[in-house]
Amino acid sequence: MKICGLTREADVDAAVEAGADAIGFVLYPKSPRAVTVERAAELASRLPPFITPVLLFVNADAPEVMASLAQVKGAIAQFHGEETPEQCEEATGPGRFRYLRAARIPLGAAGAGFDLVKYASDYSHAQAILLDAHVEGYGGGGKAFDWSLLPPAVDAHLVLSGGLTPANVSDGIHSLRTRCKTLSVDVSSGVEIDGPGHKGLKDAGKIRAFVAAVRAADASFSS
């Protein structure tokens, strides 16, 4: 699982302590959770082995993406804009760096019209397809799309995102786990401190609760 949109050392440490597998840093300047690549590298230097830093880009130029990935050791890219398969490949130096491709799923009944099978095929070189809600701007805005409208079988590794919280992540996992090769989850706003002005500031208790809920859902599949 990935905890995304981190901006502080304390939050990186809390995510690591709770058992996160990946940590996300937003390199999209217009995001309220944005950090510079230098700051991302500084925060990522706190990560122990086997926890992956993920750099989120929105329509960034290939040289910028490549330079950022080279600066943050062990990082992979997450493309959240209108990047084509060819642009994703170019920006990661075909085969040099791994990447995730975000699929922006429409909210409500319109979600049934999104052809996730084709999308996953088009981006077959992506390590996984990240599922997020399509709202104004980029990122899910804390909104959850209708998971039940996704296809019953997708030949890809999926990452469920968009409006996840400690309270609903188990439902999301149970809804999608059997529909794809593997399923991971990604949370940002769902583990932030309550109240305005706190985007990018995480709540350690919510992180622990989210990780515990994911672990419990995973255990239910193996019991």
Q: How far apart are CA 4 and CA 75, in angstroms?
A: 13
DSSP 136: S
Q: Identify the active-site residue in 4, 88, 180, 186.
A: 4
Q: How far apart are CA 124 and CA 146, in angstroms?
A: 24
Q: How far apart are CA 102 and CA 72, in angstroms?
A: 21
180 is catalytic: no
Q: How far apart are CA 220 and CA 223, in angstroms?
A: 5
Q: Identify the active-site residue in 88, 132, 180, 186.
A: 132
Count Cβ atoms within 10 A of the Cβ of residue 131 and give its class: 0-12 exposed, 13-18 middle, 19 or more buried.
buried
4 is catalytic: yes
Q: By C-alpha distance, which of 83, 160, 150 is closest to 117?
A: 150
Residues 6+ apart with CB under 8 A from 109: 146, 149
Residues annotated catalytic, as ranges: 4, 132
